[in-house]
Amino acid sequence: MMTLVCQEKMDEIKREHIPVMLEEVMEFLDPKENDIVVDGTLGLGGHAEAILKRIGPRGRLIGIDRDERSLRMAKERLRPYLEQTHFVRGDFRDLDRILSGLGVTQVNGILLDFGISSFQLDDPQRGFSFQMEGPLDMRMDQNNPFSAFELVNSLPEEELAAILRDYGEERWHNRIARTIVRQRSMRPIATTGDLREVVLKAVPSRKGRGERIHPATRTFQAIRIAVNRELESIDIVLKKCVDLLAPGGRIAVIAFHSLEDRIVKQQFRALAQEGRVKLVVKKPLRPGEKECQENPRARSARLRIAERAV
């Protein structure tokens, strides 16, 4: 009975989580038997499961995630591979320290997927989505004391505007920041619904609301990035990855918006000019039409791959 319950739970996890660009990742990351591979953004373990099948029983996978619940669910999914998998709760920016703690000096492959998993996005209590009512949280790591609530209700107007401009590329950053400060002076902005309504109040109705995306999309993106220091983490880890790859080892990076992809592009280009890596693909790969239809959240994904020079 216990085995049946575990299998049902595993099947549910697999239905909920569709790994983005799985075929392309496996083709270009190209994990081989006995390899040591890092999945720096383990999530629910979809990519990791495919990698483990390729590297065989003597290979090792190191799965890192900041989200404790994600790690628990990934362990459930990857139960058949527990003996060869290290599950690490941490930030991929600390990849060098994490590998050192495991006695690993070099790895054959590194995968970084910067997307938010569906189970995080669809959980109202995590506060990532403006489409569902929940507390204004947005923390990947629940141990982080600084949530979206603290950011929105404490930062000066100028800092809020800069975050919306730099991390969300929000045209109406000044108006939204001004409206946030005005609103919070009357009562705290405590929920996703509160913040969504503030944005709708701030954005001019004819222009801003005629866009293809919801007016609150960029604001929520910007605040999430700031709370989790996402772009800073990307910049830090990419600078470390090359030294951690064995010669001929590859790094595959999936980005979901232009800010992330720009950092990856610039870092890979600089490393290639230094002769430390070669670019496996000149332009980012994009998901196919079939995948976008089956998993609409994949449509903005961009995959770049680099290989450490021998």
Whether the predicted pLDDT of 205 surpasses 80:
no
pLDDT band at 210 (very low <50, low <70, confident <90, very high): low
How many degrees, rounded to 5, is the angle at CA 7 between CA 287 and CA 61?
Answer: 55
pLDDT at residue number 91: 93
pTM of the entire structure?
0.88
pLDDT band at 16 (very low <50, low <70, confident <90, very high): low
Mean pLDDT of the region 207-220? 76
Torsion of CA 249, 255, 261, 265, to 10 degrees: 10
pLDDT at residue number 211: 62
- Average confidence score pLDDT of the chain: 91
Domains of the chain, start order: 2-119+230-308 (3.40.50.150), 132-228 (1.10.150.170)
* pLDDT tens-digit series, residues 41-55: 999 999 999 999 999
pLDDT at residue number 5: 40
